[in-house]
Structures are given as structure tokens and as C-alpha cells.
Amino acid sequence: MQYNPGWDNSSVNLLHVRAVGRGDTLHYVWSSIGAPAALLVATESGSSVLRVNWSRLLSPAPAGAIWIDPPSSVVYSTAVVFTKLFEYGEAKPLEELFYPTYDLSEFSWDSVNHTLNHTALTAEFAGVPVADSSGSFSNGSVAFRVTAYEAGGRDGPLPSLLHTANSSKVEFVLAGVAPRGNSSRFMLEVATVEETGVAQRLRSERSIDDEYTPTIFEMLSLVAESQNDSSTLSFLQWKATAYGSQTPRREDNIQCRSHGLQAANWTLPMSSIVRAYFGESIGSTYTVSAINISFGGEDGEVYQEKRYLSWSALLGFRQPPKDTFSPLVISIMAVALGTPMVMLLVGSCVVLFARRKCYSEYQPIN
């Protein structure tokens, strides 16, 4: 993990996570320059490095300020951008009132250097609006907590996401922000940037196994698929839940919904690192898709009461991790389904055996 490589000033944030494999390298570049974003680049070289032209990156025209050396080693690149935070409530039955949008590209972000943990491979981007006329952020903030992984495993805290060494986690946290309505709910806009020939797909998978995330049976994945061979290149994966506590339990569950994947207008506020890497051809050579993820039930009372909301997602390369039935659940299902079958089989054998033993003391009449 490198913080602002080649730059001594901590007034801006750029975090480079480099994972070296056997003959390949995965690069994750997180930044809050502009809208918070993650740039993901896969290379087929074990020695590829990130290059940053800082004077160009911080200029009004950042195109070309970020690249991977050697450029020929890059086999795939994509970006995930967290663009806007919406707050809305119910004005009338079946009608929703939207308050002025929080544009995350217009936030002031604390230095990540204070939260960077090289041992745990974690960091936190925390920010507040530059202009907060409503005073909602006087005692609160928005944060994106980043975690990198050295090996596969499962997170301890809910929602206990299953991860691999090819993935990283981002946790969106809304803490202490005063709602502007009595029953406010929040919605996060997430945009993706893909190369030509790559299409985004939203998948939903349901399972009866909720051992690791109680009462949550749905997993959603936003996957990038190659249109040539339908192979999966990258993913953004999350459970259909958020939580209203720093130490989440099942009762802290906040309803989470996804509102359609759509082609986005390329003029939407983008991250500087996205334009720095992909250039000014976003929207023509590269496509932008966006999805809205909302948090809160019908009344919004969970956030209103605790003033805390956290939502976790996994992002990485290739196929997203897939949960399988655990040995515990398999054992329970075997006992639950097998016991009646064994009893039925034994009962049938007893009846057949008893019928064979049945005889009469009377001799048949000739």
C-alpha cells in the first residue's frame, strides 16, 4: 500500500494497492480527488508499476496523468465511482420528496494518511460537504473504508462477505449526519467505467443458507462481461442489507434495494483519477453505467434513531466469490430430510416382515 506515491503533500488523497502474483499484477487506485473512486487495472507483468504526473493530475485537464508502466502489460482496466448521495422522504402517499443532492465531488476529505494501517491493509476516506447550508454535517460525515486482502477468507463482522486475494472491500458509512426530514431515507449513486466491448450486468442470487448473514437471502453482483466470449472480467458484489450500528447485529439490519442499471450521461461528475487514466473519451470510447442503491425501510426510522448506516461491497477481478452450503447447513438438511425417509423405510420393512409371519392354526379344507 502506497499513499500519494511521489508526492509529499497530504492535502489530497491517492492510495495505491498493488498485489503481485506469479507473472501478473493487480492495481487498485483509490482516490478522493473529485468524486471518490477506485481504478482497477490488471496486468500480465509481475513488475508493472503505477506512474503519476501530479502537476497534471491536479490541473483542470488531468487526462494522461495516470498510467501503468509498461503500458503494453495492461490486459484490463475499469473504474467504480461513488458520485452522489440522495436524501428523500415521503411527501404524500405514493409520492417522494427529494432534498438537494449531496454531490460527493464537492466534499472536503480528511487525509487518509492518519487512518492508513499497513498491517491490517485498511484506510478510510472521510469527508463533509464544502458548503453545508443546512448544517446536517455539523456532527457527522460520509466515509469510505477500504480493505485489501492477502488471501481468501470471510469477514467477521456482518454481512460477513466471502472474499478472495483478487478482491478488496469498500464500506460506505454515514455517521452522525442529521436528516432533513422526519422519515428520511438515503440512496447512493454508483457509476462504472468500462472499455469498448465490455457490458455491465446486474445479477441477483438467492439462497436458503443465511448462516453467515442471518435473515438475508439475496446476493447482488454487478459484473463486467466481455461481449466476445461472455467471460467475467470484474465485479462489484454486495448483500441486500445495510446496518445501523458500528457493531452490527441481526436486529440492526437496514433494508437495501437496487434501482436498475442504466447507461449514464457521460457528463455526470467524475473522479479526476478516472479522467486522468481513461482520458477525455469517456462516453464515446468508454461507457459509463450507473446504479442507485437505497437504504431504509418504508418509514426510515432505523437511521433516524441511531444516526448510523454502513453498507459493505466487494470489488475485484474475474468471477465474484460464490457461497456454498456450509457443512453445518448440509448436516441439518441431511437430518431434517433423511430422518423421515429412514423412518418410512424402516416402517415399510416392519410391515412387510409382519405380513410374512402371519399364519393361521386352521388347516385348509380340501
Q: pLDDT tens digit string along 319-356?
A: 999 877 556 656 665 666 667 777 888 788 878 777 66
Measure the CA–CA gap between 26 and 354, rounded to whole angstroms: 70
> Where is 67: in which H helix or E strand?
strand 66-69
Measure the CA–CA gap between 365 and 160, rounded to whole angstroms: 78
Average pLDDT over residues 59-86: 96
Query: 60 and 197 share a domain?
Result: yes
pLDDT digits (tens, 9 = 90+) for 82-129: 999 999 987 666 678 899 999 999 999 999 999 999 999 999 999 999
Query: 141 and 260 share a domain?
Result: yes
* Closest listed residue to residue 265, CA positions, set 84, 89, 32, 33: 84
190 is written with which cell numbers?
454508483
pLDDT, residue 349, reads 83
Query: 211 and 304 share a domain?
Result: yes
Query: 209 and 144 share a domain?
Result: yes
Instruction: Tell me whether residue 322 is in a domain.
Output: no
Query: 40 and 160 share a domain?
Result: yes
Query: 52 and 154 share a domain?
Result: yes
Query: 78 and 121 share a domain?
Result: yes
| 346: helix, strand or coil | helix
Using the predicted structure, report yes or no on whether residue 268 has a pLDDT greater than 70: no
Instruction: Tell me whether residue 32 is in a domain.
Output: yes
CA 41-221-40 angle, 5° bins: 10
Query: 300 and 354 share a domain?
Result: no
**Domain span including residue 89:** 2-317
| 332: helix, strand or coil | helix
pLDDT digits (tens, 9 = 90+) for 213-250: 999 999 999 999 998 888 999 999 999 999 999 999 99
Measure the CA–CA gap between 78 and 15, rounded to whole angstroms: 16
333 is written with which cell numbers?
438438511
More confident residue, 137 or 296: 137
Query: 196 and 345 share a domain?
Result: no
Query: 253 and 153 share a domain?
Result: yes
pLDDT, residue 343, reads 80
More confident residue, 224 or 208: 224
Share of the chain above pLDDT 90, in %: 70
Please give the radius of gyration of the chain, using alpha carbons only, rounded to the nearest integer.
26
CA 322-326-331 angle, 5° bins: 150
Instruction: Tell me whether residue 101 is in a domain.
Output: yes
CA 233-239-242 angle, 5° bins: 130
Q: What is the DSSP letter of 212?
A: S
137 is written with which cell numbers?
454535517
The total number of structural domains that make up the chain: 2
